[in-house]
Structure 1
């Protein structure tokens, strides 16, 4: 979380510094003129909003180098969400600065400013004349973008909204971003043209246009597409999971704990954890929990021999064996650990590992498989059946592993469970740098 806040602070600091370098003289000379200060603050909030939108889009591009920087695509998407929220907040301030004087003047609370010479004059050169002719359309595009952004971000943040509608809102956001760029570039004050802020806005705007076109043309993640066909589909009604086995001849391989997007015909791509370790047959296995409309009917819609695309692999949940470890899986979070068990059994690692599988719907066949794999991998396996047992807590971990501070903890499961564990581990002085977790909810 600290890295997320540092990223947000950086996204505020850089454009603010650029704005100050470009505006310091004007701000100092007009610090007591409310309306002129408002004009400068409109530029500041505008450039901040543009920066947050650019970062938000960049974090959704699924670039390999960006995943390495953020230590996993899940972390990138979490930061993407917060950048979007920051963009919305700053945009609201921008809108208020633009609209509030007109409202207050209309109510008679304040007087309209004099229209004398202000220094923000318009030159009669051809470029300035052309830009001025587009000013009305730029103002209109900004207003449309603002109201649309309000609706789309609200929809995106509602977890009850289906995945297909969620993806549609993000496609529409690419169009909104193009409107924002049009608005921002054409409304740069003439006084700012020779200043640093102008090339900054133009460069950021070009980046947004490029990323928006990538999104609209379906280019995101395309370099990671691999054709595959279905080898097996097995539905387990006891814990409502579907085991899906695919064959992808050109699959580049994956690490334990990584995941991939599956592109089915007539269905938006969905991310699922890979539950097998790398093999020479290029077969890939997924254990998919019934958590929504699509996953509920997956075993009925997908059949042996069906063709699809696998996009990936993504993620940095590496389950390093460099020190003794505790693995904690919540529900379907067991998927990544199953692959790690297979890998550990093949490589004969000797560092002690305790695996806890916490679930409300234990499935007999899966438990037997996990027990057998744990024995082969020399892992201490414990089932925490939450129908009859209390939730796993730090006291239980300390009883099982008294020297817990010497261990690393790897967790995959619901975010609320992770937060609770981190909070209690911090109280006992556990180094939270050794607590590794996958962002279970990408939204």
Structure 2
């Protein structure tokens, strides 16, 4: 994630401290701290809504979309923690004014915001709850943010809404509300490109979907992904898929979908030639072959970005070793296509790894293929998270550094990692 985006968030969160101490002179310090926590919660939620828009500038400020979404997740969790602390620590100050009906209504709005956000954030990190249910409930999160903003506007506080701090908070919250309105608006409001499916074919245990533009095509680089709304199959909610072919003059796109979850399983059965598709994007910065030798490690449907990268590999690019791990050859998507590409490109070496025959791919297996010294290589990985972490640790003794280990951790919805932490603690006992 980019330092620019993190720095912007930190400055925005600390900015109220420029004015708040002066407004709190002679007042309860603990209550003042609680009010600051309430402001922090609103600022964090506003930034979370801003990132969720996927506006073009988001990646420029906060980093590639996979990293931006991690910032989005932790902003939401941080906002919830700050809000719970704000509710727990008494924020009431004496002598600020009478308890009017408007003030009481603002207090009620604050309670609605607190409990509504608590429920929705819990659903978000409880990854066992089905994706479609989470997605449906998540659209209401902005309503509770608006309730929190109304609570802020009309609650008794040590400064006026017309003061510099009041104007600052109002501006921040309005940005968040505009961002929420944009994400909650009908799909026609968001910029997208119309496509139509021209072919659906089996690729191992996955389905390859070819599509052509019905107007101006999406301009993208190999390795990028986009959000696809398969409106013709009744699944209009955009979902991210990596584009599994290199750009060409026709504007054609291809995505390769493996039935790994509830939505993808339904999609793989419902898609058919002739159906319309909407495409938003592209996003991401994964994989740019250059002057440094590279090792590409793909597992299962993680082959999708490498298929596009292999097609676009320039003759003068540095040598690339592609290790493609799969259970058996009949389950491997695009294997024959990649073999043909490798046969035509001297700087691309394809190494299929069938786990049924060779066992699970590990650090020793990678080192045996690439050589024992990876210090001068960039390693790109796409596949299961557990395998990514295991290889990162296993390849460190062979010279692989975190700086040279590249991957996209694009997970719209993730837990807190508490299970992994618990396993580590148990292993130490």
TM-score by length of structure 1 reads: 0.83
CA distance in structure 2 between the aligned counterparts of 1:350 and 1:189, rounded to whole angstroms: 62
5 Å matches for 1:379-394?
379-394=348-363
Q: Verify: 1:253 aligned to 2:222, yes or no.
A: no
The residue aligned with 2:274 is 305
Name the CA shift for 1:7/1:95 in 2 (closer, same or farther; >3 Å): farther
Residue 338 (structure 1) shift: 0.4
Unaligned runs of at least 5 residues, structure 1? 31-35, 102-114, 123-128
- Of 57, 69, 74 in structure 2, the residue corresponding to residue 65 of structure 1 is 57
Which residue, 123, 132, 137 being the options, matches 1:164?
A: 132
Q: Does residue 1:89 correspond to 2:81, yes or no?
A: yes
The answer on 1:357 being equivalent to 2:292 is: no
1:289 matches 2:258:
yes
Residue 405 of structure 1 aligns to a residue whose secondary structure is coil
* Counterpart check, 1:204 vs 2:172: yes
Say if 2:193 and 2:278, in contact at 8 Å, map to a contact too. Answer: yes
Q: Secondary structure of 2:334's partner?
A: helix
Give 1:56 deviation, angstroms: 0.9
Query: Alignment length, in residue pairs?
Result: 406
- When residues 49 and 368 of structure 1 are mapped into structure 2, their CA distance, relative to the original with a 3 A threshold, is same
Is the CA contact (8 Å cut-off) linking 1:120 and 1:191 kept in structure 2? no
Whole-angstrom distance in 1 between the partners of 2:290 and 2:189: 30
Equivalence for 2:155: 187
- Give the equivalent residue in structure 1 for 2:424: none
Partners of 1:384 and 1:159 in 2: CA distance: 31
Tell me which of 123, 129, 145 is aligned to 1:177.
145
SS of 2:19's equivalent in the other structure is: helix
Quickly say closer, same or farther: Cα 1:303–1:279, change in 2 above 3 A: same
Give the deviation of 1:79 after TM superposition.
1.4
1:242 maps onto 2:212 in alignment:
no
SS of residue paired to 2:79:
helix
Which has the larger displacement, 376-385 or 285-294?
376-385
Residue 367 of structure 2 contacts residue 398 of structure 2 at CA under 8 Å; is this kept in 1?
no
Gaps of 5+ in 2: 414-429
Contact 2:374 2:399 in 1 (8 A): no
Q: Distance in 2 between matches of 1:49 and 1:292?
A: 33
Alignment of 1:392-407 (within 5 A): 392-399=361-368, 400-407=370-377
TM-score by length of 2: 0.86
Secondary structure in 1 matching 2:411: coil
Distance change in 2, residues 1:166/1:342 (3 Å): same
1:348 aligns with 2:315: yes
Cα 1:313–1:11 shift into 2, 3 Å: closer
Partners of 1:205 and 1:413 lie apart in 2 by: 38
Tell me by how many angstroms 1:221 deviates: 8.2
> Deviation digits for residues 360-388 of structure 1, max 9, x if unmatched?
35436732222222222331111222334
Separation of aligned partners in 1, 2:44 and 2:159:
24
In structure 1, the residue matched to 2:387 is 417
User: Given that residues 259 and 271 in structure 1 are in contact (C-alpha distance below 8 angstroms), is that contact kept between their aligned partners in structure 2?
Assistant: yes
Would the alpha carbon gap of residues 191 and 55 (structure 1) be closer, same or farther in structure 2, given more than 3 Å must change?
closer
Q: Is the 8 A contact 1:242 1:298 kept in 2?
A: no
Over residues 241-261 of structure 1, what are the superposed CA-to-partner deviations in whole Å (9 max), with x where a residue is unaligned?
Answer: 111000014113211111121
CA deviations 1:382-411 (Å, max 9, x no partner) are 122233434333333333234411111111
The verdict on how the C-alpha distance between 1:150 and 1:199 changes in structure 2, with shifts beyond 3 A counting, is: same
C-alpha root-mean-square deviation of aligned residues, in Å? 2.7
Give, in angstroms, the shift of residue 441 of structure 1.
2.5
1:15 corresponding residue in structure 2: 13
Instruction: After TM superposition, list the pairs within 5 Å mapping 1:5-154 onto structure 2.
Output: 11-12=9-10, 14-19=12-17, 21-24=19-22, 26=24, 29=26, 36-98=28-90, 118-121=94-97, 132-154=100-122
Q: Contact 2:296–2:381 (CA<8 Å) still a contact in 1?
A: yes
